[in-house]
A = this chain, B = another copy of it.
C-alpha cells in the first residue's frame, strides 16, 4: 500500500475581522475536513471520493465561501462554481453559475462520471441537477448573515468602482493520493462578492482552478480567479511536474514567487505528487490549509508560514 495523503485549503487572502473572530472555528473545520477525507483513504476509498468529501464538508460549513456561506454577487444572489478531476484517467467535471444545488462539487462529480461534456453552466447546469435528482436548497439556505451584512453595507456605501476593486474572493480546494497511487483534485467557490451577473471564475476551469494527472500531480489554485486564469495556475504546476525536475514544493513556489512575482493579487496553490509529497505556496497574508498523510499527523495552519 502506497502512502496516502490529503491536503486542503479554505482560501488564500489578507486578514479580515471575520477571520480573526472565527479563527478557532476555521481551524476546527479545516482539521475536520482533512480528517474526513483521510478516513476514506484509510478505508481504501479512491482519492476522488476523498476530495469530494472534503469539499462537501467545506461547502456545508458557513465559514467558507462555497456552498452555504457563498459570496453574494452584484444582483444580490449566490452563483457557485466547482470542478473535480480524476488523475487516473483524466475524467473531469465542472459547474458554473450554479444556483440552488446544495453541493456543487457533487454535481461536478456526476458530470465526471458521465464522461461526456465537462463544463455545464447556468440554467443548463441546474436542469442537469434536477434530472440527476441532487439535493436542492432555497436561495436563503446559501446566504448567511455575515455575507448579507457585507453585501448590504457595500451596496449602499460603495461606488461600482470601489465594489469592483474589493474582489472579496475565497475558494476551497482539496487534493489527495490514495492507496492505489491515484491522484484527484477538486475546487468549489461562491465567487467574489459583487461579481457581475454571468462571471465565471477559475474554480470552474479544469487546468486553471484544479487539475489532476497521475503522471504529474493533483493541484488546486485559489486567490484572485482572474489572476489564476491569466497564469494557467494549476496547469502550469502540472506541466512543470511532468516535464521538469522540480519537487512539488519547488513547482508551487516557482509559479507563485517567480513566474508571478509581480502579480497584483492573491494567489495560492496546494498540490500533492504521486509519492504523497505536499506542496503549498501563497503570496497573501494568510492561507487556510491543512494536510495529513500516513506518516504525518494532521497539521492546520492559517497565519503561520
Contact = CB atoms under 8 A, between A and B. Distances in A.
Interface of A: 90, 92, 96-97, 116-125, 127-128, 164, 195-201, 205-208, 211, 225-226, 229-232, 235-236, 238-240, 243-244
A90 B265 CA distance: 14
A125 B122 CA distance: 12
15 contacts: A116-B226, A117-B195, A117-B226, A118-B226, A119-B200, A119-B201, A120-B199, A120-B200, A121-B200, A122-B122, A124-B197, A124-B199, A200-B200, A208-B208, A243-B243
Contacts of A123: 122, 197-198
A304 B127 CA distance: 43
Nearest to A114: B164
A128 B196 contact: yes
Number of this chain's copies in the assembly equals 2
A208 to B, nearest CB: 5
A117 B211 CA distance: 22
Contacts of A164: 116
Contact of A230 (B90, B120, B121, B201): B90
Given A117-B226, A195-B117, A96 B200 contact: yes
A160 to B, nearest CB: 10
A129 to B, nearest CB: 10
A238 B233 CA distance: 13
Contact of A97 (B92, B122, B128, B238): B122
A196 B124 contact: yes
A141 to B, nearest CB: 22
A265 to B, nearest CB: 12
A139 to B, nearest CB: 17
Question: Which 9 A-B pairs rank lowest in CB-CB distance, beginning with the nearest?
Answer: A124-B198, A124-B197, A207-B232, A232-B235, A239-B239, A122-B122, A119-B200, A120-B198, A117-B199
A198 B127 contact: yes
A14 B250 CA distance: 42
Given A208-B207, A235-B239, A198 B121 contact: yes
A195 B120 CA distance: 10
Contacts of A236: 235, 239
